[in-house]
Amino acid sequence: MLITSSEIMNLKGRDIISIRELSKEEINFILDYAKKMIPYATGEKSTDILKGKILSCLFFEPSTRTRLSFETAMHRLAGRVIGFADPTMTSQKKGETLADTIRMADGYSDAIVIRHPLEGAARLAAEFADAPVINAGDGAGRHPTQCLLDLFTIKMEKNRIEDQKVVLLGDLKYGRTVHSLAYALALYGAELIFVSPKTLGMPKEVIRECKKLGVEPISTSNLEKAIRDADVLYVTRIQKERFPDPEEYNRVVGAYQINRKILEHVKEDLIIMHPLPRVTEIDPEVDSTSHAIYFKQAFNGVPVRMALLSLLVGGRI
């Protein structure tokens, strides 16, 4: 039997800090493996490949989806989870450094998931841990597992990522998910359109990265025109917590909203994605349309994180 390179790919022990540290071949491998995890993620099938393994979930910043889906992923693989969702209940409150907290988690567990408000915190954690460290979001920096589940969702819904016309809408300046996603979509040769309030445009370095990969993104404020023949609309929240100046936030809040009216002229098979949480940028009336796949996208975090944990910690279905 012919053994393909994907069959012998070994990610055991790797840190996942940024999507940029994974090759396209590795991303494809993770996405293919995540597809195989779906029946295990739904509970239709069961496995104990991570029995005896422990995952630390260290959340220094609020989370619903990322934390719960990592925990679900570990439980579905028969592993166990330790950690915290409220850092004020840890010894950080007594002045313990991040490095020392990580040293503790490293001794107690087989992999570490960390979300932290400071950019670079996950990379620092990786320096102090032998166990693999997964960045679950560091400030306005990176959120690689969100990027993987976004790519997975596009692939599952559209069968391919290449050549898709993708509109990224919202806070493109502070939104960590759109920075990673724009890069990754460019890696696949997708067509990119950036729509945002003027002050929240995509950072120049991300645009430069896309161009380097051969994709010339279009930036516009004309949302209706941009989505008319789009395949994917990726909406993001304007993140109040990332604005250094509250006045800057007040000027842009409520600048856009996706509702049934604006969707009257889009393609029938347009999919609308959102990393969630949403506030006002998608009207709940959109939830019942065939375009809305953001809740399915959130579920996809489970098989994708199961695949990743299985590959990093060891044990394969």
- As annotated, the active-site residues are 65-66, 94, 115, 143
Residue with tokens 């960590």: 176
Q: Which amino acid is present at 71?
A: E
Q: In the complex with ligand CP, which residue's Cβ is closer, 107 or 277?
A: 277
Contact (CB, 8 A) for 190 and 198: no
**Strand pairing report for 54-59 and 165-169:** unpaired
Q: In the complex with ligand CP, which residue's Cβ is closer, 171 or 191?
A: 171
Cα distances from 14 to residues 21, 132, 308, in angstroms, run 10, 5, 10
- Phi then psi for residue 83, to 5 deg, are 140, -165
Q: Minimum Å distance from CB 274 to ligand CP?
A: 9
Q: Minimum Å distance from CB 313 to ligand CP?
A: 21
Cα distances from 176 to residues 103, 138, 253, in angstroms, run 27, 8, 18
Two structure tokens written together for 307: 């695949």
Q: In the complex with ligand CP, which residue's Cβ is closer, 115 or 291?
A: 115
Q: Minimum Å distance from CB 62 to ligand CP?
A: 7
DSSP H helical ranges for 2-141 = 24-41, 65-76, 98-108, 121-128
For binding to ligand CP (CB under 6 A), which residues are involved?
A: 63-66, 137, 146, 275-277
Q: Minimum Å distance from CB 119 to ligand CP?
A: 15
Q: In the complex with ligand CP, which residue's Cβ is closer, 27 or 147?
A: 147
Contact (CB, 8 A) for 156 and 119: no
Please tell me what DSSP assigns to residue 87: G
